[in-house]
Chain A
Amino acid sequence: MPILDTKDVTKQFGGLVAVNQVSMTVNKNEIVGIIGPNGAGKTSFINALTGIYKPSGGQIFFQGKDITGFPAYKIAKQGIARTFQNLRVFSNISVLENVLIGAHCRIDNPFHHIFLRPLRSKKIERQAYAKVIALLKNVGLEEKKESLAKNLSYGEQRTLEICRALASDPELLILDEPCAGMNSAEMDTLADFVKKLRDEGQTIVVIEHNMCFIMAVSDRIIVMTEGAKFREGTPAEIRNDLEVQKVYLGEQEVE
């Protein structure tokens, strides 16, 4: 059974159809890439998936459960974590706190425990802290855990955002244009990192503009244009599809 299954997901803004009946599936432990020219509705589609927009039509099933129209926080609890196209780290607080906030919905600490079972509450917070430290070590940000997020380099902030998303132990991780603003060396590092996550069992959806990156990491690629799904296939199939080249590469130089 696929982990994510969307059926004819549609999002309209007034008369504008941003996402037009997109159906797709994501299986466990695979990387699905979504590409398409600017304005193809990739981000709108992801926003509809993660509850930032309410879909105007269609259904979304996550691990067999109908989550259509759930608010964003509930979808996050179900196990979908995401990053944003234009970095949204919490800039004025420490790296550590950023990631701890990412773990929010996995810290099972009911409010009354703070007063009625303070020791248990402290223990749970400490466990979360240990987990987050391990995660930071894993991505190489442990030394910077006390610095404010805004003082990190751009690349580090990108990593932090992914790390924050991972802190919620997501079943599905959605990366929205993770390479925006990166140079090719940074991109290679990121590609390795994403593949490593997949090898550790993570399921990932990547939206990207950059052909090279998406070809390198994806197991399967979905091409979107004008809000609708246009093609789906393996990287090799997509690469050799003449119509995709026309639609997509017509706009961007072949790399």
Chain B
Amino acid sequence: MLGEVILVGVMVGAVYALVTVGYSMVYGILKLMNFAHGDVYIFGTLVCLTLLTKYNLHPVLAILIAAIVGGGLASLVELLVYRRLRAEQHRLISMITALGAAYVIQNITELNWGNQVMFFPSIVKSKFINFWGLQISVTHIITLFVAVLCIAVLILFMRYSRYGKAIDCVSQDMDAASLMGIPINRIVSSVYFMGGLLGVIGGVLYSSSYNAVSLGMGFRGTLVAFTAAVIGGIGSLGGALLGGMILGLSENLIGVYISSSYRDPLMYSLLIIMLLVKPTGILGSSDQAKV
């Protein structure tokens, strides 16, 4: 039993990590709490649902299209709203604007799909296999595999591609990067795109393994991303992975052994405790203000 619970926890953790990575990268560059993150990925997930059920597209194709739509929506929001506030504004102003953007996307999503819980088909045939005495669902294995694959690709991309290095430069020092001829706007835009893209993949994986999706998961997803990023260390890739894992595992353990109604209170409490005790997260380093 415990083995299965942990495995599912790891699966959920990997999906959370996917959702968190995008948010955390945005934070790393712009220091902006993107409240619209969860709503973007739910929008993409619902696009995928429509493609799957209405147009009977092949799951891989549907996910690809939905992910690109999600990425596009994220960079559209950046282009229309956040970009104008980037240079000059007080941090709070852009945070509140992000809330406004979240409202708008939420409302558009609701107009198209409503706010009730919908059935989300499994991407793969759900069956159980016996693996070293553990009863494991194939869906979970594939979900975990896809999530890990995406993260691995992202890590390789960030480490070895020119783009990845440019993103790293921009998050270290935007002005200096700009002077070095790195096109800031394009980089920021693409980070949003990647964040939305990965978020949608995470959202689809999550929804298909639980066979459910709803508008409310968007706001929850935003909070999952916040919490996981804060636990691991906000702004860092490794931190997002670690935080996602910790959150997914602990949620699942509590859900199974105590009660699933404690899932959300657990998340909020973890968030508060981390922010009070070690706001830089497990992997984060402290940033000393310069006087």
Contact = CB atoms under 8 A, between A and B. Distances in A.
Q: Do A and B bind each other?
A: yes
Interface of A: 13, 43, 47, 52, 84-85
B242 to A, nearest CB: 24
A184 B291 CA distance: 26
Contacts of B291: 43, 47, 52, 84-85
A248 B291 CA distance: 24
Nearest to A92: B90
Nearest to A88: B291
Contacts of A13: 288
A47 B289 CA distance: 12
B92 to A, nearest CB: 13
Contacts of A52: 291
6 contacts: A13-B288, A43-B291, A47-B291, A52-B291, A84-B291, A85-B291
Contacts, number: 6
A43 B288 CA distance: 15
B36 to A, nearest CB: 27
A85 B290 CA distance: 11
Closest 6 CB pairs of A and B: A52-B291, A47-B291, A84-B291, A43-B291, A13-B288, A85-B291
Contacts of B288: 13
A43 B290 CA distance: 11
Interface in B260-291: 288, 291
Contacts of A85: 291
A47 B291 CA distance: 8
A89 to B, nearest CB: 15
A228 to B, nearest CB: 20
Contacts of A47: 291
B175 to A, nearest CB: 15
Nearest to A176: B291
B90 to A, nearest CB: 9
Nearest to B289: A52
Interface string B17-61: 000000000000000000000000000000000000000000000
Nearest to A47: B291
